[in-house]
Amino acid sequence: MNLEALIQQLMNGLSLGSLYALIAIGYTMVYGILRLINFAHGDIFMVGAYCAFFFVAIFRLPWFLSALLAIGLTALVGMSVERIAYRPVRNAPRISALITALGVSFFIENLGLVTVGARPKAFARPEIMAKIVKIGPAAVSAVSIWVPILSVLLLLALMYVIYRTKAGMAMRAVSTDIETTRLMGADVDRIIALTFALGSALAAAGGIMWACKYPQINPLMGIYPGWKAFTAAVVGGIGNITGAMLGGLLIGMVEIMTVAFFPGLSGYRDGIIFTLLLVFLLVKPTGILGESLKEKV
């Protein structure tokens, strides 16, 4: 492979990895506080993209305003899912919560299929993203540069919230010890809602940027990215935000580079990621940065 192609693929991997990271953070945050794998998270990603699409296509709002509104609306959707479907089963056996999450995921997907149809829609991306930019000898779509940059900015913003604000501190407290956090006079339900809101907002941002990079949206677009982002969260260490970022980048790179160097394997790209997931689950379930949990007898 020549340098030009390599640079292009690296940028591809970087931007794909950033997107996975954005989604993975939502998984890991929810797992950290509730020990729940939110299967519906990948579909939240899809909801973000569609909201932006509708704000632009139907309401004819300017692109960036649409994106912001979409992020906000998706955050509300995420909070609603938690309130309606997950809070009632918070004290139920874990299996029940998992099944509920699966149900929510299928619900969102099929509601999408029923309301907007299975046919993919073209996503209008802003001019600034469609330009072609030169990096060395390679011609790269501006999206591939914007995505990592915007993702980093979002991640920095998130880190600020989590490590420098009271609300973020409360979120960290809840993921350490939910009962003791109650003893601090904190309304844990609200903190959990905030966590879902943040995670969903990031996923929405990811969905919108994904649609800029691969400008076709369909109701099932969240399934595979969702699973790969989940793999990223596990690989990085579930419950660990830095791990999610690391894992996302890793998975993105692995996916792009494998197909770049072994084009014959492109049909297997999803299988490779799943195999990676299985390997980590079996060999190092705590992931690269994670910590082990023991059960008390």
Partner 1 sequence: MMLAIENLHVYYGGIHALKGISMEVPEGSIVTLIGANGAGKSTTLRTITGLVRPRQGSIKLKGRDISRLPTHQIVQSGVAMVPEGRKIFRNLTVRENLMMGAYHRSDASAVQRDFEYVIGLFPRLEERLSQKGGTLSGGEQQMLAIGRALMSGPSLLCLDEPSLGLAPLLVREVFKALESVHDEGRTILLIEQNARAALKLADYAYVLETGVIKMQGKASDLLENEDVRKAYLGG
Partner 2 sequence: MSNLLTVVSVGVLFVFLWWANNNLDQFALRIMRTGAVYIVAAVAYNLVNGITGQFSLGPNGFMAIGGYAMALLMLPLEQKKFVWFLEPQMWPFNSFSLPGALFVVALIVGGLLGALGALIVGIPSFRLRGDYLAIATFGFGEIIFVLANNLIPFTNGPLGIKGIPEYADIYWCFGSAVVATLFVKNLVNSSYGRAMKGIREDEIAAEAMGVSIFRTKMQAFLVSGFFAAVAGGLLGALVTTVSPSLFTFMMTFNLLIIIVLGGLGSITGSVITAFGFAVAMELLRVMEAPINIGPIHLPGIAGMRMVIFSVLLIVLMIFWRRGLFGQWDFSWNWLLSKIGITSKAAEAISPVEQNGAPRPTATSVRAEAQEGGVLMSLQNLTIRFGGLVAVSDFSLDIKKGEIVGLIGPNGAGKTTIFNIITGQYTPDSGHVFFDGSDITGWRPDLIARAGIARTFQNIRLFGELSVLDNVLVSEHLGIKSSLLTAALGLPRYLSEEREARSRAMALLKLVGLADLYDVQAGALPYGQQRQLEIARALATHPKLLLLDEPAAGMNPEETKRLMTFIRELRDRFSLTIFLIEHHMEVVMGICERIRVLDYGVSIAEGTPKEIQTNPRVIAAYLGEEEG
Binding site for partner 1 (CB under 8 A): 166, 169-170, 172-173, 176-177, 179-188
Between 13 and 287, name the residue whose CB sits nearer to partner 1: 287
Backbone angles phi, psi at 135, to 5 degrees: -120, 105
List the one residue from 104, 171, 193, 204 that touches partner 2 (CB under 8 A): 104
x/- track of binding to partner 2 for residues 175-214 (CB under 8 A): ----------------------------------------
Asked if 114 is part of the footprint of partner 2 (rule: CB under 8 A), the reply reads yes
User: Which residues, at least 6 apart from 10, have a Cβ–Cβ distance to it below 8 Å?
Assistant: none
Amino acid at 258: T
List the one residue from 98, 133, 159, 178 that touches partner 2 (CB under 8 A): 98
Amino acid at 73: L
Stretch that binds partner 2, among 18-26, 64-72, 111-119, 155-163 (CB under 8 A): 111-119
Q: Which does 117 bind (CB under 5 to 8 A by kind): partner 1, partner 2, none?
A: partner 2
Between CA 77 and CA 144 the distance in angstroms is 28
Question: 99: burial class by Cβ within 10 Å (0-12, 13-18, 19+)?
Answer: middle
User: Which residues, at least 6 apart from 16, have a Cβ–Cβ distance to it below 8 Å?
Assistant: 213, 252, 255, 256
List the one residue from 34, 129, 277, 289 that touches partner 2 (CB under 8 A): 277
Strand boundaries in 12-110, DSSP class E = none
x/- track of binding to partner 2 for residues 9-38 (CB under 8 A): --------------------------x-x-
Q: Which does 139 bind (CB under 5 to 8 A by kind): partner 1, partner 2, none?
A: none
Q: How far is the CB of 171 from partner 1 (least distance, A)?
A: 11
Backbone angles phi, psi at 296, to 5 degrees: -90, 135
Residue 39 tokens, joined: 């299967």
Beta bridge partners, 133, equal 140
Write down the residue that tokens 């809101």 correspond to. 197
Asked if 102 is part of the footprint of partner 2 (rule: CB under 8 A), the reply reads yes
Between CA 227 and CA 39 the distance in angstroms is 8
Residue 228 tokens, joined: 């790969």
Residues lying near partner 2 in the complex (CB under 8 A) are found at 35, 37, 85, 88-89, 92, 94-100, 102-107, 109-111, 113-115, 117-118, 227, 230, 234, 267-268, 270-271, 274-275, 277-278, 281-282, 285, 295, 297
